[in-house]
Structure 1
Amino acid sequence: MKNWMLWLIVGVISIVGGLVALLNPLAATFAAERLIGWIFIIVGVLQVISAFREQGRGASLWAGLIGVLALLAGISLLSNPFSGVISLTLVLSVLIAAAGISKLITAYQIRRARYFPLILISGLVSIVLAILIFTNFQEAATVLLGVMLAIELISNGVSLIALSLFRRSPT
């Protein structure tokens, strides 16, 4: 790949962005909340537009309704950022708990398999994380999204750097 250096630079920028987000998770939380709000608005508008182009009335009605709901969610997130952060944290913590329960069920189903302990531990970590979020909800709400954004940026940067170095090698 000719552009391995570009991928390397993007990876480094992603890691630096992740480290900056870790240094100020509150600002990163609100940045993530604003980004999600705008995404909902864009998706909502596009969904409403596509609803008018649908042929069937049932599909058109559902597409339009989902678009309007997404649009309202985006407006709500942007007009009241603190409530948006609380809502997003609540949804995220419920998803983490559900993922943990799902992993525990999967682990139980494959309890004789070689990778059973890894899935079990992953499920337990998710459950513990969800409990920590629920028991310290106010504190978690202000930084959780920012920390998760930071971790994702760092993880993304590491993978991009690894990919660029892989693509650089002649083999």
Structure 2
Amino acid sequence: MSDWLKWFLLGLLSIVFGVIVLGAPVVASVTVTLLTGILLLISGGLQLVGGFSVEGAGRKFLAIIMAAVMLFLGWSFLAHPLEGTLTLATVVLILFMAGGIARIILSFQMRGTGLFAPTLISGILSIILAGIIWTYASEDPTWLLKLLGILLGIEMLFNGFGLIFMALFLRGKDGEATDTEIKQS
């Protein structure tokens, strides 16, 4: 099987899973929360073990406190996945808003360059997206349960299309190389 075909099939698989995720966004959101909880528990455990090997009382204390926070969050997400999903969705909302504000501020530092407008527009769109999410969440807080799944599904679709485009590009490059080799013969 050629490389381009592998990438093409992987892209199709990503699109199929993206559609499935968009069909059940709450299930996908809760799954993301559970996986996050598991990863936080693993990270917290490793941080705790590493914390005892750190030199210096201040660093050791900080490492152990960080481990405790990660372990608590991991346990909390696993014990209460719906509340954990709402928490993660709220964090995503805050990150969209903060990222948008940061890009707007950055854009004004780029004034006079070709990067000013795209950076400004990107920041404005992030803030608008955060506003849309906030509006839906304030009308129906359970909408936040769908947010992570919707974002994951959209990302999987974009990823799938990107992989397919890359595969077609690679297929075209392979064809060009073959045509060039034939012309040289």
- Taking structure 1 as the reference length, what is the TM-score of the superposition? 0.87
Q: Partner amino acid for 2:55?
A: Q
Which deviations, in whole Å up to 9, do the C-alpha atoms of 1:8-36 show, x marking residues without a partner?
Answer: 33322222111111112111111111111
Q: What does residue range 99-114 of structure 1 map to in structure 2 within 5 Å?
A: 99-114=99-114
The structure 2 residue matched to 1:142, chosen from 138, 142, 145, is: 145
Aligned to 1:152: 155
Structure 1 gaps of 5+ residues are: none
- Specify the alignment match of 1:132 in structure 2: 132
Q: How does 1:14-163 map to 2 (within 5 A)?
A: 14-137=14-137, 138-163=141-166
Q: Distance in 2 between matches of 1:76 and 1:110?
A: 42
Deviations 1:38-66 (CA, angstroms, capped at 9, x unpaired) = 11111111111211232333322222211
Structure 1 residue runs of 4 or more that deviate by more than 6 Å after TM superposition? none
Counterpart amino acid of 1:70? M
- The alignment-based identity, stated in percent, is 35
Distance 1:46 1:67 in 2: 8
Q: TM-score, normalised by structure 2?
A: 0.81
Report the secondary structure of 1:53's partner residue. coil
CA-CA distance at 1:100 after TM superposition: 0.7
Distance 2:165 2:49 in 1: 41
Cα distance, 1:118 vs. partner? 1.6
- Partner of 1:112, secondary structure, is coil
- For the structure 1 residues 63 and 97, does the alpha-carbon distance in structure 2 shift closer, same or farther, using more than 3 Å as the test? same
Residues 93-102 or 59-68, more deviating: 59-68
One-letter amino acid of the counterpart of residue 161, structure 2: V
Unaligned ranges ≥5, structure 2: 178-185
- Number of matched pairs: 170
**In 1, Cα distance between equivalents of 2:114 and 2:53:** 51
Q: Distance in 1 between matches of 2:152 and 2:65?
A: 30
Select the structure of larger CA radius of gyration. 2
